[in-house]
Amino acid sequence: MTALELIKALIGFDTTSRGSNLALIDYAEELLTASGARCRRSYDVSRAKANLFASFGPETDGGYVLSGHTDVVPVDGQAWSSDPFNAEVRDGKLYGRGACDMKGFVGVALSLAPEIAKAKLKRPIHFALSYDEEVGCNGVLRLLEDLKDANIKPALAIVGEPTLMRVVGAHKAGAVLHTTCRGHEGHSSAPEKGANAVMMAGEFVKLLDDVWTGLRQDSDARFDPPHSTVQANMISGGTATNILAREALVTWEYRALPDRDAGAIVETVKHRAQGELLPKYARRAPEAAFDTVLHAAYPGLMMDDNSPAIALAREITGANRVEAVAYGTEAGHFQRNGIPAVICGPGSIDQAHKPDEFCELSEYDACENFLRKVIAKAAS
């Protein structure tokens, strides 16, 4: 199958993070096994999701990992011009959920499996297909644990997130947090006899914005935006218009510069909520509280001038500069586990997570050329 045919096939699997990815993993494993790969899986606790790690070449330490996630973000409520899970080519672009983020890279890599099998590799080439990247890079943690248990030690990882095939050597750290605002129910005609959790949530969101304002003073011009960020992305609570809400949930995130103390952001938010917001509501309701729980987190990718992953990507692409991005990937986890990582993949992050997500067909061609050179390096 051509790269384009494989990408279309992968898009046809609805692997939205809330569901299973096993059908896609079965499909990929069948393709890789047919080409002679040694495959192993690692599962989540429900066994409804799996990572796939496949190896070609000598069974030795070292080698290059081609890493991509199999899950995609939801399409709910988005106005698509075509079926998001039935990929369609229009005007030199492929449209579909995952076309750039990131079934494009995975499809191109899988299409080269027969060539990898035929190459006389002197160092292994590994495929790492993970689950639940879009909800906190959860799957790759299990994959890395499995590699450690199996004593598999790759030399570096190439993460194919969309970079327009530019070499990216750093990204921010990130986390998703849930803050439950707990108040005291009552009639809305007497708001001072209770504690309205929805109003508490509103003040908490304003506090997050204040914390973000303070973070703007510490910047790194390599990133856009150049500072760490904090924002609320979801809020829910209340049962009726005339009842003081007993509970409200704020889902928020930080995106922190990779060499800063991200934990300090969370502690600042907790401390300020406790000291600045809570007293007002605790006077009316002793049980009032702001309870914050970490839902998911991933480390940043630190720029490493001596990284063999960056050196390889620069040699192959001829890039004069190494870039930094604000979005997160599994690259930080690879680096934290002693595997140098670089990000380089087809498509633009500007198209990710949007309706009518697309990737230029020329980007797939560039990715194919790039990966063929990776194969050549592994055989040299």
- What's the whole-number mean pLDDT along residues 241-267? 97
State the span(s) of the chain assigned CATH 3.30.70.360. Answer: 173-298
- What's the whole-number mean pLDDT along residues 114-134? 97
Query: Per residue in 115-140, is it b (16+ CB within 10 Å) or e — as a string?
Result: ebbebebebbbbbbbbbbbbebbbbb
Give the pLDDT of residue 181. 98
Q: Could you tell me the pLDDT band of residue 96, with boundaries at 50, 70 and 90?
A: very high
Compute φ and ψ for 247, nearest 5 degrees. Answer: -150, 145
Give the pLDDT of residue 74. 97
Amino acid 97 reads: R
User: pLDDT per residue over 31-80, tens digit each?
Assistant: 999 999 999 999 999 999 999 999 999 999 999 999 999 999 999 999 99
Give the pLDDT of residue 66. 98
Question: Which distant-in-sequence residues (6+ apart) come within 8 Å of 316 by Cβ?
Answer: 370, 373, 374, 377
CATH number belonging to the domain at 3-169+301-379, selected among 3.40.50.720, 1.10.10.10, 1.10.3720.10, 3.40.630.10: 3.40.630.10
Give the pLDDT of residue 176. 95
Give the pLDDT of residue 29. 98
Q: Which residues pair with 267 in a beta bridge?
A: none
Could you tell me which of 58, 68, 67 has the C-alpha nearest to residue 152? 58
Give the pLDDT of residue 104. 98
User: pLDDT per residue over 283-297, tens digit each?
Assistant: 999 999 999 999 999
- What's the whole-number mean pLDDT along residues 133-146? 95
As a whole number of angstroms, the distance between CA 332 and CA 76 comes to 29
Question: Which distant-in-sequence residues (6+ apart) come within 8 Å of 317 by Cβ?
Answer: 165, 166, 167, 344, 370
- What's the whole-number mean pLDDT along residues 229-237? 97
Q: How many Cα atoms occupy the beta-carbon half-sphere of 290 within 13 Å?
A: 27
- What's the whole-number mean pLDDT along residues 142-168? 98
Give the pLDDT of residue 315. 97
Give the pLDDT of residue 266. 98
* Topology (CATH level 3) of domain 173-298: Alpha-Beta Plaits (3.30.70)
Give the pLDDT of residue 191. 92
Q: Could you tell me the pLDDT band of residue 320, with boundaries at 50, 70 and 90?
A: very high
User: pLDDT per residue over 1-21, tens digit each?
Assistant: 899 999 999 999 999 999 999
Give the pLDDT of residue 325. 96
State the span(s) of the chain assigned CATH 3.40.630.10. Answer: 3-169+301-379
Give the pLDDT of residue 342. 98
DSSP string, 141-164: HHHHHHHHHTT---SEEEE---ST
Percent of the chain with pLDDT over 90: 99
Give the pLDDT of residue 37. 98
User: pLDDT per residue over 171-204, tens digit each?
Assistant: 999 999 999 999 999 999 999 999 999 999 999 9
Give the pLDDT of residue 9. 98
